[in-house]
Structure 1
Amino acid sequence: MGVDRGYKEFALVNNKLALEFVRHVLEQNPDATSFGAIYDAMSRAACMRSFHNLGYQELARAGISLSLLNTANLERLIAEARRSR
């Protein structure tokens, strides 16, 4: 029971971090409206560690994989971040 609760809380915290990252990217790049432009901005932010000094690996652990195989999840995350701004 305790492990399950801890996992759910961990997933929730990571989801909040993922949404915060996408909001940060959207705010820093207001002209980025297409998925490609937002993806490029997210990649730059990860490369430059401009969000809480998190790079690709740390962001992936938080649920933000920038793999091209993960584009469907990224699109959902971007849509959720836009709704919750």
Structure 2
Amino acid sequence: MSLRRLTGMTCLAAGAALLAWMVFEYFFLAFLAGKLLPGVAPSVWIAGFGRALLSLPGAAALFLAAAGYFLITREQREEGRKDS
């Protein structure tokens, strides 16, 4: 396994883990807020999560996941060229 592929897998896993943590944290806090304020609609939660994705941690998670994906696919394309 090449270093580029390993780096890509690490970036992809880190980005996915950060996004998963953000999802858990955001929806857990939204659940607690819903218990305290029963009139809050789930559509407000979804809109708030969309804004959270555009925050700095959300952008970092999306960047890490995208970088990992592109590193892995680039390595696969280069392996395909070597085989032909």
TM-score in terms of structure 2 length: 0.39
Identify which of structures 1 and 2 has the higher relative contact order when contacts are C-alpha pairs closer than 8 Å and 6+ apart: 2
**TM-score, L = length of structure 1:** 0.39
- Return the structure number with greater helix share: 2
